[in-house]
Amino acid sequence: MTVKGLSAVAKILSYQLLITAVVSLGFAVGGWQKALSSALGGLAAFIPNLYLALRISGFEEQDARKILKSFYVGETVKLLLTATLFIVIFQIPNINILPLFAGYISALSVFWFALLMR
């Protein structure tokens, strides 16, 4: 399945949302709390990646040093945002750890599959 007319970054972000939804639906068999935990895990991967994608968009014609600095700052903020999201998620009562990390890892695995599909 391909998404025509979208950049590679937009495709990866779309696939992250898709895999998060599929994994969450799979965990829904065990109850809504497991599905919610899985969805939150997927969002903990998706939101920081969306931030980084928005931060680095539009750098095609700029100085290489400025682009590199922007990547470093963006990646640092992305890591801090991920940690913050997990801290917030762990404050929610009845979060299931296994579905949470399954959703997170499945969303991150999209990057590996994208490399294999190229």
Question: Minimal CA–CA distance to 43: which of 27, 25, 21, 26?
Answer: 21
Do residues 7 and 53 make contact, with C-beta atoms less than 8 angstroms apart? no
State the pTM of this model.
0.85
pLDDT tops 90 at residue 99: yes
Greatest Cα-to-Cα distance within the chain, rounded to the nearest angstrom: 51
Q: Which residue has the tokens 């998706």?
A: 46
Name the percent of the chain lying above pLDDT 90: 67
pLDDT digits (tens, 9 = 90+) for 10-36: 889 999 999 999 999 999 999 999 999
Question: Minimal CA–CA distance to 23: which of 38, 1, 10?
Answer: 38
